[in-house]
Structure 1
Amino acid sequence: MSDAAQPTAAEVRAAAEAVKTALDRHLAAVERRSGEDDPAVYEAFNQLAAAAEAYDELLYDRYDEVTPFEIPAAEDSLPPYAGPEEPNGISVLIRRDYAVAEPQRLRAQAQRVEAADHDDGEDAAGTVHGALGILFGEFEPDEIASRHKEFGLEEGDSTLWVTAAEEPAEPGEWLEAPFEHIDQQRVVCRFDVSAVFDDETDDGDDETDEIDELAEDLDEDEDLEPLDADR
């Protein structure tokens, strides 16, 4: 970062003061907690997380220094549930990301479907976006998820949210904007899948492997002849 783009010392100091203020507000909210899922505590937590992140970034940009603590980002957790106790309807929101790892395989699979379903010489499968339209029109999303490698796709992150509603939506009510106006306080549960979690598990496995190797070394040492205590 250039000197001209660096934050001033005053900006870093102001960010530090904002963290102190957010800490006081968070403690006050915790002391006044009205229940396990008090929204005031949740809001104060988010404000503290945002203030700490801003200070950390400014501190690094100005002084090439970081803070010794890390506060989870607000999006890492859901707010307290505030939906109906007995919902009469639910919405299941699913997002699955894929990388088009093998475009040729993708188009070949789509061409097979196209050849079986069409006799008019269309060639929609000749492009990647056309092939995707054919395959997702032919197969259910769950089937594509289970057979993604056959279609030249590579899995990315995915998430599934279940949200509660007072009443089921009317037919066609949300079709124009299906993913807008999602109230996170009506999310009953969510399930996330990401390679990030696999990396964390792998790190734990590496530590376990190191411990196992150390144990093996100790076992080998036990085979050595013990020293004579009289020497």
Structure 2
Amino acid sequence: MPDDLTAALEAVIAAAREHLAKVRAADGRVDDESVWRAYVSLNNSACVYDEIMRTRYDEVTPFDLEPLEAEEGEAEWAGTEVVDEAVEPDAEPTLVSVRQRRDYVVPSAVALQRAAERARDEVPDPEGDDQPVRGIGDAVLELLHSGDGTLRSLEIPELTPMDGIVVINEVGSGLDVTATSEGGEDVAFAVDAGDPVIGRLDERSFQDDHRKGGDDDREEG
């Protein structure tokens, strides 16, 4: 008949097998209750085994655990769980246009191009475009491509942000990119006079030195 230490070891093995089975059954599902309960059982059985080993033989195990209550995790989930109610779509959905502009000072075009080349090396173009980065426009586009596609990608030392503005208009029709010809890109940012502004956000950079420097240069000329 096995002693209590052997029985405790067998309990750890059984709990580990059960935990593995529950994890596989959950298949990545977050906060699965059965996985949590199996985890608690494995934790506590390991604690028992560790305690018996320590008291009987004055030996330790690799486990550094404290007993758990299954209800601890359940209470935490219950306090944070949010169930969204089903919302019916509007009969006539609203179409909005979000337009953003932010200006930048480029202290060094060469430094900016080098930053763009480093960004390309870190995030290669999936289409294998190996054309060199030529000029400021290419550099900025490369940075946007290598980042998340938003202006956050341009938050680098090689660009000094100036003022910006975000305007949200309710519009009657959406943008057709295919109808925007090269050289006529400004059309894509124009809205009808009757499209109301429903939101605006001003971004202040407070880069007074650049403004004053520009004014001084003009006065000296």
Q: Which has the larger radius of gyration?
A: 2
Alignment TM-score > 0.5, same fold: no
Which fold has the larger relative contact order, with Cα–Cα distance below 8 Å and residues 6 or more apart in sequence?
1
TM-score (norm 2): 0.39
